[in-house]
């Protein structure tokens, strides 16, 4: 047999250390999730030049509107409420803490590539009780042992990439955590805006109801005067009174809904109802933006943080397949120590009392009762589960984008129609009041006109609120509102965000076993 020289062993170890077991995870595309290449949902539907031109056009025209979409409503109160929620929302605080946990776990995984070296010292007082040694004249009196030095525990040489795959998975988990934070930012900001629209809508509805009650009070006063003059009957007075009370009875319900929405806003902003009420002040329902540039769907899906997070978790699951497969191969590890030991304290400075040990160990799995194969099967099943989770998020994202676009368009149309209806109903009620005062129409006719006016006023306020909320829902579906996270970040968070800002959202094919193997 040829004798392997140390340089050859080091070269062989270096080559083996470059091996990586298991599949690499390629980029996920919408087609992998069953979304056909239609209407630009997949980048495959576009040429490389078209996709790049679309991205540049989105960045130049509508991207900034997506990033800070709430500013398009031109409402300073909404801007302040979102800024407050960014600072004090409890869900965002939890998401940032989870990112820090993922950062720490990445550091733990990276540390496995390096040996653990510890320094220590010890003292032992020893009394031997060996009768045979005593019979041979060996001194068995108690004695002391002093020692200090360095020790290196078992250090695994990552020949098959097990540790590096776990580091990959930890990196991908960290990126998923950052995207979870981004998704929380999108959710909180959209929640604040939606609740704000609801509050302003309820305010407008209460104003409309109070205006209707005031008009009916005037009608009751007019009927009462005519009854006193003997020109009408008690029946009409009772009818006007009943109509007034029925209308006024709706106010407590609206006020209750307003109080609930106010409490929801306080929860989102991490503050009290009194503080939110002071911040709200007086205001109107913000007008929804006239046009929202949705861009091409393939770009939109890259921007959704929930889809990015699901893709990163799939990548992490695929990386763990390689870590599990590496367990089937031999493990090479190094261990050793160096110390100085003496039976008296003064001998600790004598270099002649030094001792050391160092050497490799090779462990080959021979019989594990199927444990390793079961771990590999479990890792592949986890990757399949993660893929299905990503696909579920993809399908939901596509549906949300489609439905939000349709909802925003239809809500805007409804708002415009109710606006025109309100003008007609208000003018009709004005003419009816004049005709009743002149005695040309009955009280029942006037009360019907007033009921119709309030119904249109209430519906018109709800339509304006729905148009604004639909615009918020569209911005949320487009994945906007997480890019400007600097106000939320301290230094560790900035490091995490900057490290993952340019990372691709996707990884891994539909079947993890079909992904590319590397050795």
CATH number of 365's domain = 1.20.1600.10
CA 403 from chain centre, in angstroms, equals 21
Expressed in percent and rounded to 5, the helix, strand and coil fractions of the chain are 65, 10, 25
* b/e map 95-127, b = 16+ CB within 10 Å: bbebbeebbebbeebeebeebeeeeeeeeeeee
Phi/psi at 153 (5° precision)? -70, 180
Q: Which residues are 360's β-sheet partners?
A: 334
Amino acid 493: pLDDT: 42
Q: Which residues are 517's β-sheet partners?
A: 23
Residue 519 lies in a domain: no
Q: Rounded distance, CA 207 to CA 214, Å?
A: 10
- Mean pLDDT over each residue of the chain, to the nearest integer: 81
Residue 84 lies in a domain: yes
Write out the DSSP string of 267-321: HHHTS-HHHHHHHH-S--PPPPPS------HHHHHHH-HHHHHHHHHHHHHHHHH
Amino acid 67: pLDDT: 81
Q: Rounded distance, CA 285 to CA 291, Å?
A: 18
Tell me the pLDDT tens digit for each residue of 315-354.
999 999 999 999 999 999 999 999 999 888 888 888 888 8
Q: Rounded distance, CA 295 to CA 487, Å?
A: 27
Q: What is the DSSP letter of 515?
A: S
User: Average of pLDDT values for 89-115?
Assistant: 91
Q: What is the DSSP letter of 4?
A: P
Amino acid 508: pLDDT: 36
Distances in Å between the Cα of 256 and the Cα atoms of 199, 212, 253 are 11, 19, 5
Helical H runs in 18-89? 48-60, 63-67, 76-88
Confidence of residue 47 (pLDDT cuts 50, 70, 90): low
Amino acid 147: pLDDT: 92
Amino acid 492: pLDDT: 39
- Which pair of tokens denotes residue 23? 């599949």
- Burial of 291 from C-beta contacts in 10 A (0-12 / 13-18 / 19+): exposed
Confidence of residue 431 (pLDDT cuts 50, 70, 90): very high
User: Average of pLDDT values for 472-496?
Assistant: 64
| pLDDT for 33 beyond 50 | yes
Least confident of 121-135, 239-253, 407-421, 500-514: 500-514
| pLDDT for 48 beyond 90 | no
Host domain of residue 407:
17-43+74-110+122-287+299-507
Under 8 Å between Cβ of 86 and 92: yes
Under 8 Å between Cβ of 327 and 375: yes
| pLDDT for 149 beyond 80 | yes
Amino acid 447: pLDDT: 86
Secondary structure tally for the chain: helices H, strands E: 15, 4
- Which pair of tokens denotes residue 384? 């399949």
Count of beta carbons in the 10 Å neighbourhood of residue 361 = 10
Confidence of residue 444 (pLDDT cuts 50, 70, 90): confident
Tell me the pLDDT tens digit for each residue of 174-203.
999 999 999 999 999 999 999 999 999 999
Maximal CA-CA distance, the chain: 140
Q: Rounded distance, CA 476 to CA 469, Å?
A: 10
Under 8 Å between Cβ of 301 and 307: yes
Length of the chain: 519
Q: What is the DSSP letter of 517?
A: B
Amino acid 320: pLDDT: 93
- Of 514, 385, 379, the closest CA to residue 24 belongs to 514
Helical H runs in 21-126? 48-60, 63-67, 76-88, 90-111
Q: Rounded distance, CA 420 to CA 401, Å?
A: 29
Residue 59 lies in a domain: no
Residue 51 lies in a domain: no
Amino acid 495: pLDDT: 45
**Among all chains, which residue has been given the structure tokens 């539907």?**
45
Q: Which residues are 23's β-sheet partners?
A: 517
Write out the DSSP string of 28-54: --GGGGT--S-TT-SGGGS-HHHHHHH
* b/e map 191-229, b = 16+ CB within 10 Å: bbbbbbbbbbbbbbbbebbeebbebbeebbebbeebbee
| pLDDT for 314 beyond 90 | yes
Under 8 Å between Cβ of 46 and 298: yes
Residue 9 lies in a domain: no
Count of domains observed in the chain: 1
- Which pair of tokens denotes residue 413? 């149309």
User: Average of pLDDT values for 53-75?
Assistant: 68
- Of 166, 170, 150, the closest CA to residue 158 belongs to 166
Residue 5 lies in a domain: no
Residue 251 lies in a domain: yes
| pLDDT for 424 beyond 90 | yes
| pLDDT for 512 beyond 70 | no
- Which pair of tokens denotes residue 315? 């990548």
Amino acid 350: pLDDT: 87
- Which pair of tokens denotes residue 181? 């934070």
Amino acid 485: pLDDT: 60
Confidence of residue 143 (pLDDT cuts 50, 70, 90): confident
Q: Are strands 117-126 and 354-363 parallel, antiparallel or unpaired?
A: unpaired
Amino acid 61: pLDDT: 46
Sequence-distant (6+) residues with CB within 8 A of 285 are: 197, 200, 201, 204, 461, 464, 465, 468
- Which pair of tokens denotes residue 396? 């939901």
């Amino acid at each position: 047999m040829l004798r392997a020289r140390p340089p050859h062993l080091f070269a062989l170890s270096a080559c083996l250390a470059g091996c990586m077991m298991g599949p690499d995870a390629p980029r996920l595309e919408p087609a992998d999730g069953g979304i056909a290449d239609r209407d630009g949902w997949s980048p495959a539907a576009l040429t490389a030049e078209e996709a790049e031109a679309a991205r540049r056009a989105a960045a130049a025209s509508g991207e900034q509107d997506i990033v800070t979409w709430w500013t398009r409503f031109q409402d300073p109160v909404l801007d302040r409420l979102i800024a407050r929620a960014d600072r004090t929302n409890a869900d965002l605080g939890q998401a940032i803490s989870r990112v820090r946990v993922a950062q720490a776990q990445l550091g733990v995984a990276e540390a496995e590539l390096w040996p653990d070296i510890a320094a220590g010292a010890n003292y032992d007082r020893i009394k031997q009780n060996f009768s045979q040694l005593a019979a041979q004249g060996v001194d068995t009196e108690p004695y002391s042992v002093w020692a200090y030095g360095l020790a290196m525990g078992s250090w695994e040489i990552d020949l098959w990439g097990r540790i590096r795959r776990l580091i990959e998975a930890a990196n991908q988990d960290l990126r998923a955590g950052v995207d979870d934070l981004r998704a929380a930012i999108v959710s909180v900001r959209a929640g604040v805006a939606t609740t704000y629209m609801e509050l302003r809508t309820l305010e407008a509805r209460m104003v409309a109801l109070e205006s209707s009650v005031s008009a009916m009070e005037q009608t009751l006063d007019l009927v009462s005067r005519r009854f006193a003059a003997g020109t009408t009957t008690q029946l009409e007075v009772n009818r006007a009174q009943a109509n007034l009370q029925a209308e006024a009875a709706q106010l407590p319900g609206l006020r209750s809904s307003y109080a609930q929405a106010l409490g929801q806003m306080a929860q989102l902003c991490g503050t009290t109802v009194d503080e939110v009420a002071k911040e709200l002040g007086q205001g109107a329902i913000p007008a929804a933006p006239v046009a929202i540039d949705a861009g091409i769907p393939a770009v939109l899906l890259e921007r959704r943080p929930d889809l990015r997070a699901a893709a990163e978790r799939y990548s992490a699951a695929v990386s763990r397949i390689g870590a599990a497969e590496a367990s089937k191969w031999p493990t090479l590890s190094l261990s050793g120590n160096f110390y100085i030991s003496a039976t008296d304290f003064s001998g600790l400075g004598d270099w002649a009392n030094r001792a050391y040990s160092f050497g490799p160990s090779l462990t080959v799995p021979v019989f594990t009762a199927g444990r390793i194969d079961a771990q590999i099967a479990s890792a592949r099943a986890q990757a399949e589960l993660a893929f299905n989770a990503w696909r579920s998020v993809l399908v939901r994202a596509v549906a949300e984008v489609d439905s939000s676009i349709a909802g925003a368009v239809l809500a805007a149309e409804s708002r415009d129609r109710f606006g025109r209806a309100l003008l007609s109903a208000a003018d009709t009620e004005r003419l009816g009041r004049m005709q009743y005062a002149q005695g040309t129409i009955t009280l029942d006719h006037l009360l019907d006109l007033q009921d119709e006016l309030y119904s249109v006023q209430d519906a018109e306020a709800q339509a304006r609120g729905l148009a604004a909320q639909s615009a918020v829902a569209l911005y949320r579906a487009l994945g906007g509102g997480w890019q400007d996270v600097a106000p939320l970040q301290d230094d560790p968070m900035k490091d995490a965000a900057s490290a993952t800002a340019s990372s691709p959202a996707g990884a891994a094919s539909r079947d993890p076993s079909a992904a590319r193997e590397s050795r």
